[in-house]
């Protein structure tokens, strides 16, 4: 599943799942664009990791909610590597509260990043992915978009919204032999999970048949497959990686 001569852009890849994806694709020979909003140190560390393994990478700062910044990122990437073959929409945030306590600001901010950011980045790199020999669009959703979760009405809405978006753009990309798929991870050992109280984590774990939270590597291998030629006959799909949780 080599990715040599492929340019891959991963949004929100200075930490967590995004960083793991960037490093995984870099190890497979891709030219990697590490996008970040504010964590310069994390983005630089990801680039160093890829380069130390013999790969090529650049870090590009851009807030995915800012269309002008995303357009600037497009220009920077084209100057460095040329058109993007693989776009991984990973950037996302949470603002968790029970719905009765959720403000319109909490709602709007999560929608702005998790859906608005996907629109901005996909729009900016649409022609790249569409016109690539085998373009790949990979959206990172969540099991929460499939099941819902107390205190995450805003987050669940955005992640389930990615399912419909993925299926639709998959149809629109198909004539050019490019694909769009979605990965819906379960609960992964990242900073986001670290912030969850222990009793809540215990309750979540009781619902996972494999009796463990996912490692970042459990997700990155799936994205590597979707970015490769091996997935050329798979499009419009939601790949659930949740340890067997029902949905």
Q: What is the pLDDT of residues 71-108, one digit of tens each?
A: 999 999 999 999 999 999 999 999 999 999 999 999 99
The mean pLDDT of the chain is 96
Residues tagged active-site: 155
Instruction: Evaluate whether 65 touches 114 at the Cβ level (below 8 Å).
Output: no
pLDDT score for 247: 61
pLDDT score for 197: 84
The CATH number covering residue 77 comes to: 3.40.50.720
Is pLDDT above 90 for 26? yes
Q: For residue 11, what are the domain limits?
A: 7-186+216-241
∠194-195-198 over CA atoms, to 5°? Answer: 75
Is pLDDT above 80 for 1? no
Asked whether residue 193 is assigned to any structural domain, the reply reads no
Tokens of 24: 């995984």
pLDDT score for 234: 98
Asked whether residue 177 is assigned to any structural domain, the reply reads yes
* 166: Cα within 13 Å, side-chain hemisphere: 27
Instruction: Provide the pLDDT confidence category of residue 209 given band limits of 50, 70 and 90.
Output: very high
State how many domains the chain has: 1
Alpha-helical (H) ranges within the chain are 16-27, 40-52, 67-80, 104-111, 117-131, 144-147, 153-173, 191-194, 198-205, 216-227
pTM here is 0.95
pLDDT score for 192: 79
Nearest to 211 by CA among 220, 221, 199, 202: 202
């Amino acid at each position: 599943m080599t990715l040599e001569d492929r340019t891959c852009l991963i949004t929100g890849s200075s930490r967590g799942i995004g960083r793991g994806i960037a490093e995984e694709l870099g190890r497979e020979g891709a030219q990697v664009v590490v996008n970040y909003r504010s964590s310069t140190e994390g983005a630089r560390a990801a680039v160093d990791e890829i380069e130390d393994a013999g790969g090529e990478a650049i870090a590009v700062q851009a807030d995915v909610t800012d269309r002008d910044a995303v357009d600037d990122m497009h220009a920077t990437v084209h100057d460095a590597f040329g058109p993007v073959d693989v776009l991984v929409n990973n950037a996302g945030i949470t603002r968790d509260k029970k719905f009765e306590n959720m403000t319109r600001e909490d709602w709007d901010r999560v929608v702005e990043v998790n859906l608005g950011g996907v629109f901005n980045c996909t729009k900016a790199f649409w022609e790249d992915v569409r016109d690539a020999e085998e373009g790949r669009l990979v959206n990172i959703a969540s099991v929460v978009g499939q099941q819902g979760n107390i205190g995450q009405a805003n987050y669940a809405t955005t992640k389930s919204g990615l399912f419909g978006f993925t299926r639709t753009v998959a149809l629109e990309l198909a004539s050019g032999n490019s694909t769009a798929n979605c990965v819906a991870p379960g609960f992964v050992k990242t900073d986001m999970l670290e912030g969850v109280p222990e009793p809540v984590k215990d309750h979540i774990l009781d619902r996972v048949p494999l009796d463990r939270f996912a490692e970042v590597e459990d997700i990155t291998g799936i994205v590597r497959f979707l970015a490769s030629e091996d997935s050329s006959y798979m499009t419009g799909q939601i790949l659930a990686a949740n340890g067997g949780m029902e949905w």
